[in-house]
Amino acid sequence: MTAGYIMLTLQFDGYGFDDFASRQALPLLNQRALITGGTRGIGLSIAKALASAGCSCILVGRDSATLSKVQHELAMPGGAEKHGVLAGDVKERSFWDEVKKGYTDLDILVNAAGITHNSLLIAMKYDTIDEVVNTNLLGSIYGCRAVLKNMVRRKGGKIINISSVLGSHKGGKGSAAYAASKAGVLGLTKALADEYGAHKIRVNAILPGYIKTDMTDAMSKEASEIAWSQIPMKRFGASEDVAHAALFLLTNEYSNGSEVVVDGGLSTF
């Protein structure tokens, strides 16, 4: 028998090896994402991670001046011209009506906008309760509703909802309205994953613990020390830790209805 060589041509889902390599390096290339709460903290870090993966990002925030500043100062691949900003309040139906009509080509929605108010429930004013619940929960519901019809039409899409371990595993003294709203976000995620999985739309949730953001910076020294004492890793997380989880969920094609906990072990305490 004469020795010889066999040449193999590798194919992956209809792509050649070079295409596969580029997809690995830029797994979200040519995809478009809308990220609420995109001017700071977790939302901004997720935007940076998605941009590094080839995605073009639309950052949503309530303050136009801050949005413009962030867009032009972001060290995001593609430059400011590849990414956009959109001013609006996520708890307002009119804002999402605008998104539904004007942004019909979205591949990804990240519901990262959120607020909290640390107070015993009996001391919270009705307006404060409404602000927290409407921003965190209704904002996410409205956002999902606004993009789902177009995602069904486009035969695919990905949604990331930012919930919290305080709404699923831990509770939290002084966080009744916040915990309730984030528990609702988790329930929303599970229901939509079931409803739209057959349409190739994946809906997943990230459950952060204490992440170093404006929210944790506003905590009192006493509250911070109590939180630290409950975290096995004895530190707050970074917003980039949550961004890494988001990138995993967006690129893992079999993740649907998942809840990824990023809390340094807090929920095991």
Separation of alpha carbons 231 and 23, rounded Å: 37
Alpha carbon 234 to chain centroid, angstroms: 25
The two structure tokens encoding residue 68: 């413009």
Q: Is the pLDDT of residue 97 over 90?
A: yes
Separation of alpha carbons 186 and 208, rounded Å: 12
The two structure tokens encoding residue 265: 């072990």
Separation of alpha carbons 218 and 116, rounded Å: 10
Q: Is the pLDDT of residue 12 over 70?
A: no
What element of type H or E holds 139? helix 139-154
- Regarding pTM above 0.85, the answer is yes
Q: Residue 74: its pLDDT value, please? A: 62
Catalytic residue list: 178
In the chain the domains, ranked by start, together with CATH numbers, are: 28-268 (3.40.50.720)
Q: Residue 228: its pLDDT value, please? A: 79
Q: Residue 65: its pLDDT value, please? A: 84
Separation of alpha carbons 159 and 142, rounded Å: 13
Please compute the mean of the pLDDT values over residues 95-108 and round it to a whole number. Answer: 97
Digit-coded pLDDT (tens) for 164-192:
999 888 877 878 999 999 999 999 999 99
Residue 29 and residue 52 in contact, taking contact as beta carbons nearer than 8 Å: no
